[in-house]
Amino acid sequence: MSWHMPILVMKFGGTSVATLDRIARASKRVAREVANGYDVIVIVSAMAGKTNELVGWVEETSPMYDAREYDAVVSSGENVTAGLMALRLQEMDIPARSWQGWQVPLMTTGVHSAARIVDIPPAKILAKFAEGMRVAVVAGFQGISPDGRITTLGRGGSDTTAVAFAAAFEAERCDIYTDVDGVYTTDPRIEDKARKLDKIAFEEMLELASLGAKVLQTRSVELAMRYKVKLRVLSSFEEYDPEAGTLVCDEEEIVESKAVSGVAYSRDEAKMTLISVADRPGIAAAIFGPLSEAGVNVDMIVQNISEEGRTDMTFSCPVGQVARAEKAMQKAKESGAINYHDLVADTDVAKVSIVGIGMRSQTGIAAKMFDVLAREGINIKVITTSEIKISVLIDRKYMELAVQSLHDAFELEKAG
Ligand code: ASP
Ligand code: MG
């Protein structure tokens, strides 16, 4: 067994490595942690905007592109930043080298452009740490498939790379440096009283991440929860402060929690209703099977009470997928798999949700939410709940108002 210092994983997002100056700045943060006694694994994103540019080049060259070549091209932005940061650290006399995914190797499934991490054998990097290397700068977002091709992990995948490394190397913590200084009770652009949270539970973060608080890739939070990786989200633009940011952690570490921790929203939703569907066993499968095959991300589902063997089925999906959903339903109708009278799409809706682990032990939260919306004259079109979340679909024009009044009513501007 090779000896090494405690390990810290530091991930820098695209805006934190957008220019050579910013790479230098990020490198100083890394140097500080090296001085603090850590061996550091740095995970880098591509420079801001680079991945979009690369995706554009691929699409322009080949509209029906080969996903393996897409990954070969799109993964390259991270190679540049990894090499540049290693060079910058070397300039600071810190023993560092870059690693591309395949060199580690970060092994993934063969699902190109959306690969999942299968294994990260730590031996090679640990051996280098034992030889005196202090920083491994790893290109995020990329890996190698079972048949030796380069893969990528889906947009935002560097977060997942970072958490997976932290788990594989049993790192003390995984610091995610980004352009916001933490996770907020809601979007500060909508509610100026939004407050930065010191701590948030994995489960809450998962709800917020999948609800569109685009701070962390959802998959990275799932991984962190599974392996209990302590995650910290913080800004690379602020002065160094060991207490900075938001800690995403196990529920047990949060001593006291309010019923509601945050208000999330998703602006571009659509509500689709299949009117008068024959109600029989297997009908839901006959509807949602084809929708899922067509790549429609169905979120909320409501089946109405049926009358004389017929019912209405309502579901929500991203507004950009309405045409796809309509086509899939039309096809299913023509094939005789389902039978409905009409399909009505309401494309002017948004989803607003309140999230909090405290909901498990406190009652009356849903009633309070509905009351707040009622007082603002906001009509609720669909409601869904989970143990720690209540979501409503409302007219899009009321979205900001709903977020603000819920933030107010649950006093989220106040700590603890
Ligand atoms: N550069 C990749 C992207 O923009 C991966 C990442 O930054 O997380 O999706
Ligand atoms: Mg990101």
User: What are the tens digits of pLDDT across the range 196-241?
Assistant: 999 999 999 998 876 655 789 999 999 999 999 999 999 988 887 8
Q: Residue 179 is encoded by which pair of tokens?
A: 């352009």
CA of 404 to the centre of ligand 1 (A): 31
CA 19 to chain centre: 24
CA of 48 to the centre of ligand 2 (A): 10
Q: What are phi and psi of 194, to 5 degrees?
A: -55, 140
CA of 80 to the centre of ligand 1 (A): 13
CA of 217 to the centre of ligand 2 (A): 7
Mean pLDDT confidence for 320-327: 96
Identify the sign of the CA torsion 189, 191, 195, 199: negative
CA of 217, nearest ligand number? 2
CA of 51 to the centre of ligand 1 (A): 6
Per-chain residues with Cβ under 5 A from ion ligand 2: 13, 156
| Atom nearest to 154 CA in ligand 1 | 9
157 CB within 6 A, ligand 1? yes
Domains and CATH numbers, the chain: 7-179 (3.40.1160.10), 263-409 (3.30.2130.10)
CA of 46 to the centre of ligand 1 (A): 6
Mutate to test the pocket of ligand 1, among 11, 45, 219, 233 (most ligand atoms within 8 A of CB): 45
| Atom nearest to 161 CA in ligand 1 | 8
Please check the confidence at residue 1 and state whether its pLDDT lies above 60.
no
CA of 43, nearest ligand number? 1
pTM given for the model: 0.86
Mutate to test the pocket of ligand 1, among 51, 113, 142, 151 (most ligand atoms within 8 A of CB): 51
Please check the confidence at residue 2 and state whether its pLDDT lies above 60.
no
Of 292, 166, 276, 170, nearest to 223 by C-alpha is: 166
**Residues 314, 302: contact at Cβ < 8 Å?**
yes
Mean pLDDT of the chain: 94
* Segment 287-310, tens digit of pLDDT: 999 999 999 999 999 998 888 899
101 CB within 6 A, ligand 1? no
* Segment 325-358, tens digit of pLDDT: 999 999 999 999 999 999 999 999 999 999 999 9
Please check the confidence at residue 122 and state whether its pLDDT lies above 50.
yes
* Segment 86-115, tens digit of pLDDT: 999 999 999 999 999 999 999 999 999 999
Of 186, 189, 168, 164, nearest to 176 by C-alpha is: 164
Lowest mean pLDDT among 254-258, 350-354, 357-361: 254-258
| Atom nearest to 77 CA in ligand 1 | 1
Helices (H), 267-396: 283-293, 322-334, 365-375
Residue nearest to atom 6 of ligand 1 (CA): 156
Q: How many helices (H) and strands (E) does the chain have?
A: 12, 18
CA of 13 to the centre of ligand 2 (A): 6
Lowest mean pLDDT among 146-155, 245-254, 373-382: 245-254
Of 252, 69, 241, nearest to 149 by C-alpha is: 69
Residue nearest to atom 7 of ligand 1 (CA): 45
113 CB within 6 A, ligand 1? no
Mean pLDDT confidence for 379-387: 95
141 CB within 6 A, ligand 1? yes
* Segment 135-186, tens digit of pLDDT: 999 999 999 999 999 999 999 999 999 999 999 999 999 999 998 889 999 9
Residue nearest to atom 8 of ligand 1 (CA): 156
156 CB within 6 A, ligand 1? yes
CA of 216, nearest ligand number? 2
Q: What gap in Å lies between CA 286 and CA 292, rounded to an integer?
A: 11
